[in-house]
């Protein structure tokens, strides 16, 4: 999953957008635009390590 997350963050960073009126996409574009490749890799790795606690 980290490969997918990293690829999506890189698309946001490059300015690709899924709807100019979509506020969430605008926020992600702005955040990802400031991220380095190493930061993207770190976030993707962190997210991959998250899991749902089963009760």
Looking at residue 19, its pLDDT comes to: 65
Hey, how many other C-beta atoms are within 10 angstroms of the C-beta on 37? 11
Residue 55 has a pLDDT of: 66
* Beta-carbon contacts of residue 12 (< 8 Å; ≥ 6 apart): 25, 28, 29, 31, 32, 33
pLDDT tens for the chain, 55 residues long, are 899 999 999 999 998 766 677 778 888 888 999 999 999 999 999 999 988 777 6
How far apart CA 4 and CA 48 sit, in angstroms, is 10
Give the DSSP letter of residue 52. Answer: P
Predicted local confidence at residue 3, as pLDDT: 95
**Residue 52: predicted pLDDT:** 73
Biggest distance spanned by C-alpha atoms of the chain:
40
């Amino acid at each position: 999953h980290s490969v997918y997350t990293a690829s999506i963050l890189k698309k946001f960073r490059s300015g690709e957008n899924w709807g100019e009126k979509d506020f969430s996409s605008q926020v992600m574009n702005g955040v990802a635009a400031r991220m380095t490749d190493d930061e993207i890799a770190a976030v993707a790795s962190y997210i991959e390590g998250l899991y749902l606690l089963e009760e």
